[in-house]
Amino acid sequence: MSTMEPASITIETFRKIFEAGKRFDGRKLLDFRELYIDYTVSKNAEGSARVKLGKTEVVVGVKLTIDKPYPDSMEKGNLMVSGDFLPLASPRIEHGPPKFVAIETPRLVDRAIRESGMIDLKKLVITPGEKVWTVIIDVYPINDDGNLVDAATIGAVVALKNAYIPGITEQGTADYKHRTKNKLPLSTETYPLSFSFYKVGKAILLDPTREEEEIADVRVSFALSKWNKQYMINSCQKTGDTPLSKEEIERIAELLPKKYDELNEKLKSFL
Amino acid sequence: MAIKRLDGRKQHELRKMFAKVGVIPNADGSAVFAFGETIAIAAVYGPRLLHPQHMQNPATGILRVNYDLFSFSVSDRKKPGSSRRSQEISKMTEHALAPVLDLKEFPNTVLDVQIYILQADAGTRTAGINAASLALAHAGIPMKDLVCSVAIGKQDKDIVVDLTKAEEDFEGGEGPTDFPLAKVANSDEYTLLQLDGKISTSLVKEVLTIAEKSCREIYEVQKKALKEVVN
Amino acid sequence: MVKISERNTNTDNSEDALVSKKRKIVIPGEVIASGEDFLPSDGAKRLGNDIVATKFGLAEEAGRVIKVISITGAFIPRRNNVIIGRVINITMNGWVIDIDSAQSGFLPIDASPRFINKNEMDQFLCIGDVVVAKIWSINQRGIDLSLDGNGLGKLEQGFIFRVSPNRVPRVIGREGSMISLIKEKTNCDITVGQNGWVWICGSTMEDEIKARKAVEMVTEKAYVEGLTEKMEAWFQDN
C-alpha cells in the first residue's frame, strides 16, 4: 500500500465510472464486500471478534471492570468505547497525536451502541449507587482498506454478543479467572449496524475500498437498529466539507431499511 | 525423574507454535507468531522517509521498533497507549533484531517495525521477536539470518522452556525465573539477554544449550512459514 | 565499488525465473549452493565455500551467477527504472514527484517539452498531475528524474493504480508479451512503472475496467504456470 495521494486524472476517471454505476471490483455502488467474522481473537477478553470486510480487518475486544457509576446515571452500568489506530494497519498512520479519524471512529461506535439501547445498562448494577460493571469496548484496525467505521461497529456488536460476565471475588473485585455463564444483558430484539455513505461527485457509494474512500468528497454515517419492525436511526454524522443536498439525504434515508436487512442477513450466519 | 509441568509438557518442550506471513496486506512485510496461547502480530513498513529530518542518518537507515499489548490481550485490561514496560521491551527488541540487518543501503530512511500482542500468556516479547523477524524477512529487507527467541525459566530447581503465565506465577520451591533470550538462528550470537528471578551461575551453560535447541525448533517453524508464501 | 543504487538494472526478469521449478524460495542466511565456482550477485553473498541468501526471495541460477529476486517488499529505486509518479510540489527549479519510495523524485524545469519560465510552471505540471519518468540518478539529495525517452511524459487521461512492485516483471511478461496481450484484448494504452504504479487509458469505461482486472489477475496468479495461456482463455470468456 502507498501513501501517494490520488492523482487528478484518477479522481476524474473514478468519478465518471462511479456516476455510471460501476466499480472496479464489479460491485454495485451500494454493495458491501464479503463479510467474515471469527471469535478467536483473545481469550483474556470477556468477548472478542475479528471482522473482515474485503481486505479491511478490525479486531474488537470487550472487557468488563467494576467501578463507581457515573454521577448522572447512578442506577446504570457504564459504557466506554475506545481504541487505538496503530501504525500497524496502514502506512498512513504514524505515531503521535491521533488523527481525526482515530478520534471519531470509536465515538461513532459508542453512539451506535449506546443510542440503540442494545445493552441494558440498568442490569449491570452490582451494588446500587456504589458498584457497577463498566463495559469497555476497544477497537483496533489491523488492515485499513476502507470503511473502518462500519467494520468496527459490526465488530463491537458481535463481540458484545459473544461476551460473558466475569465472576466477583469475595473482596468484591472482578474475578477474570472464574467467568460466570451469564452473557451481557443485551436486547434480544435488535442491535445497531452502521452504514457510511460516501459521495463521489454525483454518485453515492457504500463500503468503499481505501482507494475509493480517498476520492470521496464527503461521508455520512448512520447507525440503525430495528425495533418492532420500525427502522430507527440512532446516530448520524456527516464528515467532510462538501455539502449534501436535501435530495441526497432523503435518498439515503430511504435506502437505510433495505440495507439494514441485507447486511443483517449476512451477519446472522456468523452469530 | 521427569518433572511435571502444570500443562503436562515435558521439561524442555515448547508450546505448540503457529506462524504465518503476509497477514496485513497494507504492510511491506507482516507475520503472526504464536507460542501456545500467546499470539503476536508484526508489521514492517519501509524503508521509508524519516520525519523529522534532523533524526535522519545520512550513513544508514534506522530501525525503529514499537512493541505493545492490545488492551484486551491481558486479563486486567491495559489502557491503550505506551507504558514504560512497552517502551523498554521495544528497545530490547530493537537491539535483538538490529544485528542481523544491514541498512546502509537505505540512508536517511526508517524501517518501522510494529509488534502487538493480541493475546498474552507469558513469553510475549519472545513471540514478538519471532514475529518481527519473519515480518522483516517477508519485507525483503537485507538480513544475514533470522532471529529466534525463547523464554527459558525455572520450575523450582529445574530448567524449563517457554513458560505459561500460570507457570510464571507459580511461587513454589525456589520461585519462578524468567530468562528471555534471542539469538541469530545459525550462529552463536545472542541478541537478547534478560533475566528476572533466581538462578545459579553454574546453570548458565545448561540454559544456553537448551536455548540453542529450542531456537532450532523455532527456526524450522519460521522457515516453513516463509517458504509457504508462494501459493 | 559501485553503489547499489547506481547499478544499471536488468529489468527483464523473465517468466522462467518466476515460474520454473528450478528456482526455489530462499530465506535470509540460507545456503543456496556450495562450491568455488559460483559468483554471488544481488541478494546473495559468499561465506567460505557457500553462497548464502542475504534476503528472502526466489534464488535464480544463471550459469555461475546466483542472485535472489525479491517477491515481496517495498519498491527500491534503481537508476534507469521507468516509474509513474504524482506531482506533490512545485519549487523554483522544478517539480517534486512522489514516486512511492523513501525519497521523492525531482524533475528539473527544463524537462518541460516547450520552454516555460518560472511563473508558468503549472502550465506544464500542476500538483496532482501524473508523469511517466526515468530515474536518471540517485544521490543524497534525492532521485533525479528525466522525461527524455520514448513513452515518457505527462499522462493526460485515464487513471493510475498500484500493484505490488515485485509483480511488475510478471505483468510485463517476457519481452513484454503479457502486457501486449492485455493491451490488445482491451484496446487500452497501458504503462507499467517499476514502482508498481500502472496507468491505463481506454476508449470506454468497460475496457478500462477489464484491463485493470486483467492486470490484477496476473499479479494474483504470478507464480502459476502457463499464465499466458490462462489469460488468453480468460479473454475469450470475458
pLDDT tens-digit map of B14-64: 999 999 999 999 999 999 999 999 999 999 998 998 878 888 898 999 999
Using left for φ > 0, alpha for ψ between -120 and 50, and beta otherwise, residue B8 falls in left
Three-state SS for C114? coil
C14 Cα to chain A: minimum distance (Å):
25
Give the closest of A57, A83, A177 to B80, CB-based.
A83
Neighbours of chain B (3+ CB pairs under 8 A): A, C
Separation in Å, CA A188 to CA A121, A164, B165: 14, 16, 37
Instruction: With a cut of 90, say whether residue A2 has pLDDT above it.
Output: no
Nearest one of B62, B101, B42, B7 to B222, comparing CA atoms = B42
- The string of pLDDT tens digits covering residues C88-122 is 999 989 999 999 998 999 999 988 888 888 888 98
A246 touches chain B (CB under 8 A): no
- Looking at residue A90, its amino acid is S
C102 touches chain A (CB under 8 A): no
Chain A with chain C: Cβ pairs closer than 8 A:
58
Average pLDDT in chain C? 89
Average pLDDT over residues B165-193: 91
Residue C211: closest C-alpha in chain A: A24
CATH number attached to the domain at C82-155: 2.40.50.140
B208 Cα to chain A: minimum distance (Å):
32
Q: In the numeric block, which cell numbers belong to residue C206?
A: 468497460
Chain C residues closer than 8 Å to B145 by CB: 28-29
Q: What pLDDT does C231 receive?
A: 93
Q: What pLDDT does B174 receive?
A: 79
A10 Cα to chain C: minimum distance (Å):
4
Write out the H or E segment, with its range, that includes residue C236: helix C227-237
Vertex A236 angle, CA A234 and A238, to 5°: 175
Residue A98: closest C-alpha in chain B: B81
Instruction: With a cut of 90, say whether residue A139 has pLDDT above it.
Output: yes
Separation in Å, CA B199 to CA B156, B178, B203: 10, 10, 7
**Is the N-terminal amide bond of B25 cis, ω within 30° of 0?**
no
Nearest one of A191, A256, A245 to A221, comparing CA atoms = A256
Long-range contacts of A174-178 (CB under 8 A, 24+ apart): A174/A64, A174/A65, A174/A66, A176/A44, A176/B75, A176/B76, A177/B75
Q: What pLDDT does C8 receive?
A: 34
Q: How confident is the model at residue A94 (pLDDT cuts 50, 70, 90)?
A: confident
A65 touches chain B (CB under 8 A): yes
> Hey, are the CB atoms on B140 and C55 less than 8 Å from each other?
yes
CATH number attached to the domain at C159-237: 3.30.1370.10
Instruction: With a cut of 90, say whether residue C219 has pLDDT above it.
Output: yes
C154 touches chain A (CB under 8 A): no
> Hey, are the CB atoms on C86 and A5 less than 8 Å from each other?
yes
Average pLDDT over residues A96-122: 93
Q: How confident is the model at residue C20 (pLDDT cuts 50, 70, 90)?
A: very low
> Hey, are the CB atoms on C128 and A8 less than 8 Å from each other?
yes
Q: In the numeric block, which cell numbers belong to residue B179?
A: 530468562
CATH number attached to the domain at C4-69: 2.40.50.100
Distance CA(C191)–CA(C189), nearest Å, equals 7
Distance CA(C203)–CA(B37), nearest Å, equals 55
Give the closest of B46, B141, B229 to C55, CB-based.
B141
Q: How confident is the model at residue C137 (pLDDT cuts 50, 70, 90)?
A: very high
C212 touches chain A (CB under 8 A): yes
Q: What pLDDT does C60 receive?
A: 92
Q: Which residue do the cell numbers 542475504 mark? A: C54
- The string of pLDDT tens digits covering residues C186-209 is 999 999 999 999 999 999 999 999
CATH level 3 topology of B17-225? Ribosomal Protein S5; domain 2 (3.30.230)
Instruction: With a cut of 70, say whether residue A160 has pLDDT above it.
Output: yes
Average pLDDT over residues B170-181: 86
CA torsion angle C157 C158 C159 C160 (round to 10): -90
Over pLDDT 70: what percentage of chain B? 99
Chain C residues closer than 8 Å to A9 by CB: 129-130, 155-160
C185 Cα to chain A: minimum distance (Å):
18
Instruction: With a cut of 50, say whether residue C3 has pLDDT above it.
Output: no
| Distance spanning both ends of chain B, measured CA to CA | 46
More confident residue, C8 or B226: B226
Interface test with chain B among C41, C55, C56, by most B beta carbons within 10 Å:
C56
Separation in Å, CA B39 to CA A36, B28, B30, B95: 20, 20, 14, 21
Nearest one of B229, B145, B129, B121 to B181, comparing CA atoms = B129
B163 Cα to chain A: minimum distance (Å):
17
> Hey, are the CB atoms on C73 and B141 less than 8 Å from each other?
yes
Separation in Å, CA C39 to CA A1, B112, C21, C36, C233: 35, 33, 21, 8, 41
Residue A19: closest C-alpha in chain C: C205
Vertex B176 angle, CA B172 and B154, to 5°: 100
Q: What pLDDT does C22 receive?
A: 59
The H helix count followed by the E strand count for chain C is 6, 16
Chain B residues closer than 8 Å to A61 by CB: 70-73
Vertex A93 angle, CA B33 and B117, to 5°: 25
Interface of C with A in 12-31 (CB under 8 A): none
Q: How confident is the model at residue B231 (pLDDT cuts 50, 70, 90)?
A: low
- The string of pLDDT tens digits covering residues A206-254 is 999 999 999 999 999 999 999 988 999 999 999 999 999 999 999 999 9
Q: What pLDDT does A144 receive?
A: 96
> Hey, are the CB atoms on A41 and B118 less than 8 Å from each other?
yes
Vertex B19 angle, CA C166 and C218, to 5°: 25
- Check residue C86 and report its DSSP letter: E
- The string of pLDDT tens digits covering residues A54-82 is 999 999 999 999 999 999 999 999 999 99
Cα atoms in the Cβ-side hemisphere of radius 13 Å centred on A133: 25
A8-268 homologous superfamily: GHMP Kinase, N-terminal domain (3.30.230.70)
Chain C residues closer than 8 Å to A22 by CB: 205, 209
Distance CA(A92)–CA(A100), nearest Å, equals 13
Three-state SS for C140? coil
Distance CA(A160)–CA(A81), nearest Å, equals 12
> Hey, are the CB atoms on A63 and B43 less than 8 Å from each other?
no
More confident residue, B172 or C175: C175
Distance CA(C79)–CA(C86), nearest Å, equals 19
Write out the H or E segment, with its range, that includes residue B45: strand B38-49
Q: Which residue do the cell numbers 542466511 mark? A: C29
Average pLDDT in chain A? 95
> Hey, are the CB atoms on C162 and A4 less than 8 Å from each other?
yes
Separation in Å, CA B151 to CA B99, B132, B214, C66, C99: 20, 16, 10, 37, 43
The interface predicted TM-score of the complex, written ipTM, equals: 0.93
Chain C residues closer than 8 Å to A4 by CB: 85-86, 98, 100, 162, 197
Same fold, C4-69 and C159-237: no
Helix segments in B42-200, DSSP class H: 84-97, 124-138, 165-169
- Check residue B52 and report its DSSP letter: S
Nearest one of A61, A46, A65 to A168, comparing CA atoms = A65
Give the closest of C28, C71, C102 to B230, CB-based.
C71
Using left for φ > 0, alpha for ψ between -120 and 50, and beta otherwise, residue B193 falls in beta
Interface of C with A in 157-196 (CB under 8 A): 157-162, 196
Over pLDDT 90: what percentage of chain B? 81
Q: What pLDDT does B157 receive?
A: 85
Three-state SS for C154? strand
Write out the H or E segment, with its range, that includes residue C231: helix C227-237
- Parse chain C into domains and list their residue ranges: 4-69, 82-155, 159-237
> Hey, are the CB atoms on B58 and C29 less than 8 Å from each other?
no
Q: Is the pTM of this model over 0.90?
A: yes
